[in-house]
Amino acid sequence: MSREPEPAVSDPSLSCCTPLTGTAMSADQAERIVPLLKALADPVRLRLVSLIAAGKGGEACVCDLNDAFDLTQATISHHLKVLHTAGLLDREKRGVWVYYAVRPDALRSVATLFDTAALTPA
Amino acid sequence: MSREPEPAVSDPSLSCCTPLTGTAMSADQAERIVPLLKALADPVRLRLVSLIAAGKGGEACVCDLNDAFDLTQATISHHLKVLHTAGLLDREKRGVWVYYAVRPDALRSVATLFDTAALTPA
DNA sequence: GGTAGACATCGACACTCGTCGATGCCTTCG
DNA sequence: CGAAGGCATCGACGAGTGTCGATGTCTACC
pLDDT digits (tens, 9 = 90+) for A52-98: 999 999 999 999 999 999 999 999 999 999 999 999 999 999 999 99
DSSP 3-state of A98:
strand
pLDDT digits (tens, 9 = 90+) for A29-56: 899 999 999 999 999 999 999 999 999 9
Is B114 part of the contact surface with chain A (CB cutoff 8 Å)?
yes
Whole-number pLDDT of residue A11: 29
Residue A101: which H helix or E strand, with range? strand A97-102
A7: confidence class by pLDDT, cuts 50, 70, 90: very low
Chain D positions with a protein C-beta closer than 7 Å: 5-11, 17-22, 26-28
Look at residue B41 and tell me whether its pLDDT is greater than 70.
yes
**Could you say which architecture CATH assigns to the domain A27-110?**
Orthogonal Bundle (1.10)
Average pLDDT of B15-40?
78
Whole-number pLDDT of residue B60: 96
User: Which parts of chain B are beta strand (E)?
Assistant: 59-61, 89-94, 97-102
Rounded Cα distance, A28 and A9, in Å: 8
pLDDT digits (tens, 9 = 90+) for B52-86: 999 999 999 999 999 999 999 999 999 999 999 99
Q: Do B20 and A108 touch (CB under 8 A)?
A: no
Whole-number pLDDT of residue A14: 37
The Cβ of residue B102 has, within 10 Å, a number of other Cβ atoms equal to 26
Is A9 part of the contact surface with chain B (CB cutoff 8 Å)?
no
Could you tell me the residue ranges of all domains in chain A? 27-110
The Cα of A117 is separated from the nearest Cα of chain B by a number of Å equal to 6
pLDDT digits (tens, 9 = 90+) for A92-120: 999 999 999 999 999 999 998 887 655 45
Look at residue B24 and tell me whether its pLDDT is greater than 80.
no
- CATH node for B26-113: 1.10.10.10
Whole-number pLDDT of residue A6: 29
